[in-house]
Structure 1
Amino acid sequence: MKILFLFLDGIGLGENNAEINPFARANMPYLESLLGGRKLLKESASSEGESAALFSVDPRLGVSGAPQSATGQAVLLTGINIPAEIGYHYGPKPNPEVAQYLDGKTVFAKTVQAGKTAALLNAYPPRYFEGIDSGKRLYSAIPLALTNAGLPLFTHEDYFAGKALSADFTGQGWHEFLNFPEAPIFETEEAGKRLADLARQYDFSFFEYWASDYAGHKQDMGSAVRQMERFDSVLKGLLEHWDSRDLVLLTSDHGNMEDLSTRKHTEADVPLLLFGEKSIRDEFGKDIHDLTGIAPAIEKGLGIRN
């Protein structure tokens, strides 16, 4: 079985309140059709359709305070309750206490050690690498885990060659913010199809979408709604070109965008969306109650669980 992990930063399961929750306002007909007409809300978990299921997952992990990016992402990649071990939630970038867990203990590392293939499907622009090389930028948890596993981050050349995807799915950001006028741009459904094509090349693949967390911190309802409506179209393109005998999972590290009444992270549960045949979804999700259950389920699905 192949597994694609869609990581949407900073999305929780919120209330059915269109004043503060873009998920209550956004028009997402494709996802809603998979969930029996339900929106991505707290009240919709747990729900199941023919090819999709939604669960509610605890990111708090028994530690006081709002969950944070570095620890939350590290837990997703390791299955270890890192906030409990170090005594606090931490973010946005890993400090040394968090970073130690991201070397040899992650799904990326274990997949490589088992002789299987893995990739982070995002393409990074030249100025990202310049920032890392100069010390002005630190790796966040996901690229740190990848590089610690000996896997490469994809570059703009990989994006141009069709080997990776833009962080905004379509590539529009390469034109508007990165000054690459020759960069490819895709319609949303086509971007989803390309994501499926890329993910099929690996046993385990990961895609990181961070703009959702940014919209939450900015309390930008318009941006949040547009993002989720575009994502619904990406998801349609992805799943219509995906083998249902393989698994797509979507989850997050903490709540944020589901409550735009605050700039801060929330303590809301996060969604776990599973796409694939029912027997595969049932087996994958049966022991997941909080963020620590996801990495072990991935390892078991890949046949690399110790």
Structure 2
Amino acid sequence: MASILGYLNQLLPFATPGTPLVQDLVHLGVICGALYFAPHIQEWYRQRRANTVPSNNGLPGNEQHAAPIVGAERHVDNELNNAVQPDGLIAAPDDSEDDEEQGNDGNVNGGGHEPDEGQPGPARVPDMPNTRNVGAKKAKALAKKEQRRAYHEFQRSQGEAQRAKDAEGAAEREAELGAERERRRAKEAALEAKKAKEREQKREQERKAREDDIRKRELVVKIVKHELEGHRVCDLMKVARRVGDDVDVEWVEKIVTAGGIVGRKNDVVTVITGMGWVVKVSEEDMTAVYRKAIEEDAADSDGRVSFETLGRMVEERLLRP
């Protein structure tokens, strides 16, 4: 009993803690190799047996057994061809009928007549079709592989068609975007040109307005000075009418004041009255007015001369020819 246990311990790896590590590794490698090569050896052996043809096929005693074997092999080929074809593909034509026709043709001479049975010659061996014995599991694997290949090919063709369609659509969209950008650029250029033209027109109008304003200012000052030199009084309403319809008395008064006309220079005073007149009065004129007021006894009971009386006398003094 002890010898049997010791023998088992030597055969089985990892049996005892005292087993050397090298022995365990060797046993493990042998077992892994056997497990890996055993299916291949079995498949090779099975195919070798299936492809082996007996040497006495031409004997009359073996013809009865050869026919069922050939029929079974043809049936296996038909099932394999049907299993390998994927969905949506046309199945390959069956070669069994061609094999039968070729076998029948082999039994006929070149003239279409069968050979005489009594004719001397070697024993005629029937032609055996080339068959391939494939198991059901292998056939399913091949069918799945073919289906995957057809599916991937279909997906690839669909992807290429979609990419071509997207590329065509992208080109059209890019052309549309380019045309839209060109239209927008043209509109922006036209709008910018219009704005530039409007700015130029505005600057031109402002320049003309400034020139016209300067011209009107100079004209007002010139008219007022000319009237004061000749008559020593000037009606600003008439001046405004001569300058333009858009000019009023207030604007003329501002121009006269800004032009330095109003004020005192030496013994001459120039003022603007409330009625819109520019008056130029000298010291000599006022002396003559006061003398006239005394001569005419224009003073009241209190000895004062009213502004109305004094203004009338100044007007008479200035407007006399």
| TM-score, normalization by structure 2 | 0.19
More strand by share: 1
**Structure with bigger RCO (C-alpha 8 Å, 6+ apart):** 1
- Which of 1 and 2 has greater Rg? 2
